[in-house]
Amino acid sequence: MPGVLEKLEARVANSTDLVLIREVRRCFDARAYRAAYVMTWLATAESLKAKFIVMGNRDSQIGRVSRQLEQMEAQRKPTDSFVLDKAKEFGLLSPDEHVKLDHMLTMRNVYAHPLGAAPERVEVLAAISVAVECVLSRPPLLRHGYATEVVRSLLEDRHFLDDVESAIDEHARAVAARLNPIVVPFLFEKLTQGLEALAGDPESAVFWRRGVRFAGTFLETASPDFASDEWDLAQRSEQCPRACSQVLSGARIWPLLPRSAQDAVLGHLVEPHKRGGGALPLQSTDVRRALSLRDEDLLTTRQRARLSAALASAPYDVLRSAAVSLRDYLDKVIDDLSSHDWYTQNPAANAVEHAGHSGVAELSPDNQVRLGRSILQAADGQSNGAAAVLAKVEQSVEHYPRDFVLGIFLECFTNELGQFRLKKHCLFTTLRLAIQHPQTEELWSQLLASVESSEPKYAWGEEYSDAMRSVEEAIRTGGVPVSPTDELIGMLRDKAAAHAGEPWDSSIA
């Protein structure tokens, strides 16, 4: 089993520091406790000086401290207290750690005199433990000056990094390893401020892309406590909405955020607004990020509802650009197709046409039927967009799911309430779709069952007779084959005869 000193020595981060700490151990093993205590202080002071030198190469403020130390040593001035104070100032030491090490310095001055008291064994062990815990076990971590330079290079120097994600991620992880944790909020603030100024500028796209990627990987690596007082992400999101909404909505960062910050970020993604009020256009990139969070199952029930509401009110061009699945805004499409307004119907129908057979196939069977009915209704009302959908379906009907074509077919004859009324405008196309579809037998079987159980919507008998004549005309002039339409004609004839001579019941109109 390793002893206490072996365990402490194993925690020393820098090989140069190990030279002195091993001399401390030899003195301790020889029971030269006075020498061990003094050497412990020397190891601590030299380690702090070395950290200033390393950090000064990347941080100009700390570089000035290194030069001051060189001047003081050249002038044979004492540097111990100066090193401790600067270490506290630049965050290498906490206030409590500064107190502990200042006490060690005081006692080193006492024990360095040969005629004075010598430290006890336990005092030496305590001093070594403090030195390792507060200084020797820690790598040199950089601060504000370095963070400022990192942000400047990322957002201003085009050739600072190769524009590939792997290079950006590698740099972000390296920065997180070098940076003092207390500076992480500062770097995030500076980076989001810089990104916000670049948002929407095409000429700055490389800097925007680089900065957003860097920020996500950096925060994931640094893994800060976003709930602490140093972070007010809701306020930061309000000040830099475009930058924060992109950086903080990554799947790697989202679980680390407090609920209040998540809600604020989601709001800026799906409900963008100007500072001080006024809505902004919804961006397809923001929609994609919100959908990614949902697909990763990272949104709460309420957050999902907010996203659904945003999709329901989003323009179709945004939904298309964001590659949103038709199933995510199907209710919006069906509502618009039912509007009896071509200017509302056509964009909805265009969305269905763009989704194609693969998008329709993602819907549940019931929703495929609903959509098919809505397309037929709009096309019968002479919506050009809906008519274009029917034409596209006819061109490749074998690829469209059966239930979507079934909805089109049924709607031509019976409504959702089982009432019969013929929609003549699209009759020829509808009959051809049902005949050409690979599952034509099932389509016709369901239509015949629907017609057989139906009741006329408007006038007893007349609807069936009118439909029978229209189907017969389709056979004669529309290129529709006799079979299987002959069975439909026979059923319509029977239904017309069954209701012949009965008065019209206005209550079902």
Q: pLDDT tens, position by position, for the chain (509 residues)? A: 358 888 888 999 888 889 999 999 999 999 999 999 999 999 999 999 988 888 887 777 788 888 999 999 899 999 999 999 988 887 788 889 999 999 999 999 999 887 778 899 999 999 999 999 999 988 777 778 788 889 999 999 998 998 899 999 999 999 998 888 889 999 999 999 999 999 989 999 999 999 999 999 999 999 999 988 889 898 898 899 999 999 999 998 999 999 999 999 999 999 887 666 677 788 898 999 999 999 999 999 999 999 999 999 999 999 999 999 999 999 999 999 999 899 999 999 999 999 999 999 999 999 999 999 999 999 999 999 999 999 999 999 999 999 999 999 999 999 999 999 999 999 999 999 999 999 999 999 999 999 999 999 886 668 899 999 999 888 888 677 778 888 999 999 998 888 776 544 444 43
Q: How many CB atoms lie within 10 A of CB 1?
A: 4
Nearest-angstrom CA–CA distance, 190 and 150? 10
Last residue in a domain, options 113, 136, 159: 136
In whole angstroms, how far apart are CA 106 and each of 34, 41, 127, 264, 373? 14, 10, 12, 51, 88
Q: Residue 504 gets which letter from DSSP?
A: P
Taking the mean position of all CA atoms in its chain, how far away is CA 152? Answer: 25
Do 9 and 129 fall into the same domain?
yes
Helices marked H in 199-313 — which ranges?
205-222, 233-239, 241-247, 259-270, 284-295, 301-313
Q: Is 430 exposed, middle or buried (0-12, 13-18, 19+ CB in 10 A)?
A: buried
Last residue in a domain, options 289, 324, 359: 324
| Contact of 22 with 29, CB cutoff 8 Å | no
DSSP one-letter string for 310-350? HHHHS-HHHHHHTT--GGGGHHHHHHHHTSS-HHHHHHHHH
Q: How many CB atoms lie within 10 A of CB 466?
A: 17
Q: 207 in a domain, yes or no?
A: no
| Contact of 53 with 87, CB cutoff 8 Å | no
Nearest-angstrom CA–CA distance, 80 and 102? 9
Per-residue model confidence (pLDDT) at position 509: 39
Q: 186 in a domain, yes or no?
A: no
Nearest-angstrom CA–CA distance, 337 and 348? 6
Per-residue model confidence (pLDDT) at position 79: 92
In whole angstroms, how far apart are CA 312 and each of 82, 268, 283, 324? 64, 17, 14, 12
Do 377 and 257 fall into the same domain?
no
Nearest-angstrom CA–CA distance, 192 and 236? 9
HEC-encoded secondary structure of 39-67: HHHHHHHHHHHHHHHHHHCCCHHHHHHHH
Last residue in a domain, options 324, 357, 392: 324
pTM: 0.70
Q: 395 in a domain, yes or no?
A: yes
Q: Helices 284-295 and 259-270, interaxial angle, to 10°? A: 140
∠ CA 64-69-74, nearest 5°, is 125
Per-residue model confidence (pLDDT) at position 508: 40
- Taking alpha carbons only, the member of 474, 445, 462 closest to residue 504 is 462
Do 386 and 456 fall into the same domain?
yes
Per-residue model confidence (pLDDT) at position 2: 58
Do 504 and 391 fall into the same domain?
yes
Taking the mean position of all CA atoms in its chain, how far away is CA 321? Answer: 17
DSSP one-letter string for 402-413? HHHHHHHHHHTT
Do 481 and 352 fall into the same domain?
yes
Per-residue model confidence (pLDDT) at position 461: 63
Q: Residue 419 gets which letter from DSSP?
A: E
Per-residue model confidence (pLDDT) at position 474: 85
Per-residue model confidence (pLDDT) at position 203: 92
Q: 68 in a domain, yes or no?
A: yes
Do 302 and 260 fall into the same domain?
yes
Do 272 and 320 fall into the same domain?
yes
Q: 185 in a domain, yes or no?
A: no
CB within 8 A of 226, min separation 6: which ones?
A: 233, 256, 257, 258, 261
Do 277 and 417 fall into the same domain?
no
- Taking alpha carbons only, the member of 485, 404, 492 closest to residue 450 is 492
- Taking alpha carbons only, the member of 464, 380, 476, 363 closest to residue 430 is 380
Per-residue model confidence (pLDDT) at position 389: 97
| Contact of 47 with 18, CB cutoff 8 Å | no
Nearest-angstrom CA–CA distance, 275 and 213? 25
Q: 265 in a domain, yes or no?
A: yes
- Domain that includes residue 267, residue range: 242-324
Q: Peptide bond before 484: cis, by omega within 30 degrees of 0?
A: yes
Q: Residue 299 gets which letter from DSSP?
A: S
Count of domains forming the chain: 3
Q: 66 in a domain, yes or no?
A: yes
Which residue pairs from 167-171 have beta carbons closer than 8 angstroms and sit at least 24 positions apart in sequence?
168/210, 168/213, 168/214, 168/217, 169/213, 169/217, 171/214
The SS3 assignment for 362 reads: coil
Our CA dihedral for 119, 123, 129, 135, rounded to 10 degrees, sits at -50
In whole angstroms, how far apart are CA 241 and each of 65, 165, 197, 271? 38, 23, 11, 11
Do 310 and 387 fall into the same domain?
no
CB within 8 A of 425, min separation 6: which ones?
A: 379, 380, 382
Do 298 and 368 fall into the same domain?
no
Please state whether 257 falls in left (phi above 0), alpha (psi between -120 and 50) or beta.
Answer: beta
Q: 318 in a domain, yes or no?
A: yes
Do 453 and 340 fall into the same domain?
yes
Per-residue model confidence (pLDDT) at position 362: 96
